[in-house]
Amino acid sequence: MKQNWWKEAVVYQIYPRSFCDSNGDGIGDLRGIISKLDYLKDLGVNVIWLCPVYKSPNDDNGYDISDYYDIMDEFGTLSDWEEMLSDIHKRGMKLIMDLVVNHSSDEHKWFKESRSSKNNEKRDYYIWKKGKDGREPSNWTSFFTPSAWEYDDKTGEYYLHLFSKKQPDLNWENPKLREEIFTMMKWWLQKGIDGFRMDVINCISKVEGYPSVPSQDSGYKWGGEYFINGPRVHEYLQEMNRKVLSKHDIMTVGETPDVNVDDAALYTAEERNELNMVFQFELMGIDSGESGKWELKPWKLTDFKNIIKKWQLGLENNGWNSLFLNNHDQPRMVSRFGDDKKYRNESAKMLGTLVHTLQGTPYIYQGEEIGMTNIKFKSIEEYKDIETINYYNEVLKNGDKDVNHIMESIYSKGRDNARTPMQWNDEENAGFTFGEPWIKVNPNYKEINVKNEEEDKDSVLNYYKKLIKLRKENPVLIYGKFIPVMEQDEEVFSYIREMGNEKILVILNFKGKDVDFVLPEGIKISEEGLLISNYENHDEKLKPYEARVYKI
């Protein structure tokens, strides 16, 4: 298998608004990040993925960009950004920026021109359509709002927005718009960045005419079949690669909701000259019901294992996997897939062991490395995320659920779970800010914080440092073949990683109780072969959430 630096890297995702506030306005910023680069270097990460820091009205916390060439006021200045990049490079780390080009903010100058008149030269930078019978051009729902179309009475037409109405979709059919995007990407690459994470990049091509989803009623319907992995998406990405990406030794990861393994191979197979890897959300959907993430559904370990096996084998020699169980849109993994009460320490370590012993590039989301957990705010007023607030208001308006039911979904799946401030120490506001934080700090910061965990040899943090080091020292964990074992076991996830005559066996107990496990025949384990574990001593049984990694 071809070796690349981005296959061997461990990536750390920073959500800047919640990472570290340097000036007391309660909002994280670039100078705050600069002050924590030694912490990241010491953790052992190689690449930082920085969520959007461009100018934005923050309708969707920076995923609504009003100027791609400047830094959001709350985060600092372009010279702060340049100092941060140089400090990152000085420490031998790399920086990838978040590229949000499926849509811009409605406050972007392009949109202001586009909406000003039908014959403005930038009209077709966005997607405008007449209504039909006094209604939206099609019955698509958006990710965040009932309709994906917003009426603009200035010119009497609707514009498309797959997300909030302040996030109008850019029209990738327009070659002039594509050139504008490529020019902007080159400008950032000239500044020395090391790649991009590309926001919902598989949504940029829509089916001609934006047709309605066939339906008997007048309600809004999910139209993903008309804009996910659309007709020209690969053409656009190959053009982007030819004109921009191929000229640099960079890393690219596409965020591609709803892709399956076969689609993913089309985006990431090396000879396709598109992207290096994608984020898939099949695993992230395992506990969602038919109607989507807010419908809570129990999950089975065998389903969890089968999804991972499918992606490990599906992209072997045919692309590359990204590996994550957390990000700024997902609940905290220890609360979702582990136990954030009795066995928080053990289950956070066990889940971290999974992510760092599979084939692919591991992504650590800020706070995951200290076992941060979900949050339960007392009232909806304390929630900040537009997706959550829109959901709450929509469901309340439709009256089909009571408030407690709605709050249960928000506690379990709301994105603010991942956006409470990073917990640095046990001082006020967890050392995140000396001002009033933009969102409440999780009250468990008193015991869950970087300072405590740096001083505790058995902390999640110190385990993560060992995990990252283990991966560096064992290329078989990066490049080795994935071979599942004990596949039908509903309690234990176990697999072998093999490369040449190197063999490593991983055993993970996903349950909060002692479980038996029977090794496949022919496999012998020994204490001297043990590479890492979240328990000191090892019996025949596995202890609650016990993880073991053996050389065999």
The one of ligand ISL, Ca ion, none whose footprint includes residue 503, by CB under 5 to 8 A per kind, is none
Contacts with 435 (C-beta within 8 Å, 6 or more apart), sequence order: 21, 24, 25, 26
Amino acid identity at 394: E
* Binders in 199-218 for Ca ion, by CB under 5 A: none
The one of ligand ISL, Ca ion, none whose footprint includes residue 29, by CB under 5 to 8 A per kind, is Ca ion
* Binders in 16-35 for Ca ion, by CB under 5 A: 21, 23, 25, 27, 29
Report whether 504 contacts 521 (CB < 8 A): no
Give least dist CB 260 to ligand ISL, A.
15
Report whether 516 contacts 547 (CB < 8 A): no
Give least dist CB 25 to Ca ion, A.
4
Could you say which DSSP state residue 423 is in?
A: -
255 phi and psi angles, rounded to 5 deg: -90, 115
Give least dist CB 75 to Ca ion, A.
8
Query: Is residue 287 annotated as part of the catalytic site, yes or no?
Result: no
Closest CB to ligand ISL among residues 234, 293: 293
Query: Could you tell me how far CA 346 lies from the centroid of its own chain?
Result: 23
Closest CB to ligand ISL among residues 93, 203: 203
The one of ligand ISL, Ca ion, none whose footprint includes residue 194, by CB under 5 to 8 A per kind, is none
Give least dist CB 18 to ligand ISL, A.
13
Residue where the block lists tokens 């591609």? 256
Closest CB to ligand ISL among residues 144, 236: 144
Query: In angstroms, rounded to a whole number, what is the distance separating the alpha carbons of residues 286 and 119?
Result: 47
From the candidates 136, 157, 255, 369, give the one annotated as an active-site residue. 255
Closest CB to ligand ISL among residues 329, 546: 329
Do β-strands 54-55 and 67-71 pair in parallel, antiparallel, or remain unpaired?
A: antiparallel
Closest CB to ligand ISL among residues 156, 289: 289
The one of Ca ion, ligand ISL, none whose footprint includes residue 199, by CB under 5 to 8 A per kind, is ligand ISL
Report whether 207 contacts 262 (CB < 8 A): no
Closest CB to ligand ISL among residues 415, 543: 415
The one of ligand ISL, Ca ion, none whose footprint includes residue 439, by CB under 5 to 8 A per kind, is none
Query: In angstroms, rounded to a whole number, what is the distance separating the alpha carbons of residues 17 and 25?
Result: 11
Residue where the block lists tokens 């191929």? 246
Q: Is residue 422 a contact residue for Ca ion (CB under 5 A)?
A: no
Closest CB to ligand ISL among residues 143, 324: 143
Q: Which region holds residue 280: left if phi is over 0, alpha if psi is between -120 and 50, else beta?
A: beta
From the candidates 80, 136, 199, 489, give the one annotated as an active-site residue. 199
In terms of Cα–Cα distance, which of 515, 513, 499 is closest to 551? 499
Query: In angstroms, rounded to a whole number, what is the distance separating the alpha carbons of residues 198 and 241?
Result: 13
Query: Could you tell me how far CA 205 lies from the centroid of its own chain?
Result: 21
What secondary structure, in 3-state letters, does 65-132 show? CCEEEEECHHHCCHHHHHHHHHHHHHCCCEEEEEECCCECCCCCHHHHHHHHCCCCCCHHHECEECCE
Q: How many residues bind Ca ion (CB under 5 A)?
A: 5
Residue with the closest Cβ to ligand ISL?
63
Query: In angstroms, rounded to a whole number, what is the distance separating the alpha carbons of residues 205 and 207?
Result: 7
Closest CB to ligand ISL among residues 108, 349: 108
The one of ligand ISL, Ca ion, none whose footprint includes residue 27, by CB under 5 to 8 A per kind, is Ca ion
Burial of 424 (0-12, 13-18, 19+ CB in 10 A): buried
The one of ligand ISL, Ca ion, none whose footprint includes residue 263, by CB under 5 to 8 A per kind, is none
The footprint of ligand ISL (CB under 6 A) covers 60, 63, 100, 143, 163, 199-200, 255, 257, 293, 328-329, 387, 415
Element housing 352 (H / E): helix 344-356
The one of Ca ion, ligand ISL, none whose footprint includes residue 200, by CB under 5 to 8 A per kind, is ligand ISL
Give least dist CB 277 to ligand ISL, A.
16
Give least dist CB 485 to ligand ISL, A.
32
Give least dist CB 540 to ligand ISL, A.
41
386 phi and psi angles, rounded to 5 deg: -60, -35
**Token representation of residue 51:** 């969520």
Give least dist CB 431 to ligand ISL, A.
25
Query: Is residue 113 annotated as part of the catalytic site, yes or no?
Result: no
**Token representation of residue 521:** 């025949």
Binding site for Ca ion (CB under 5 A): 21, 23, 25, 27, 29
Residues with active-site annotation: 199, 255
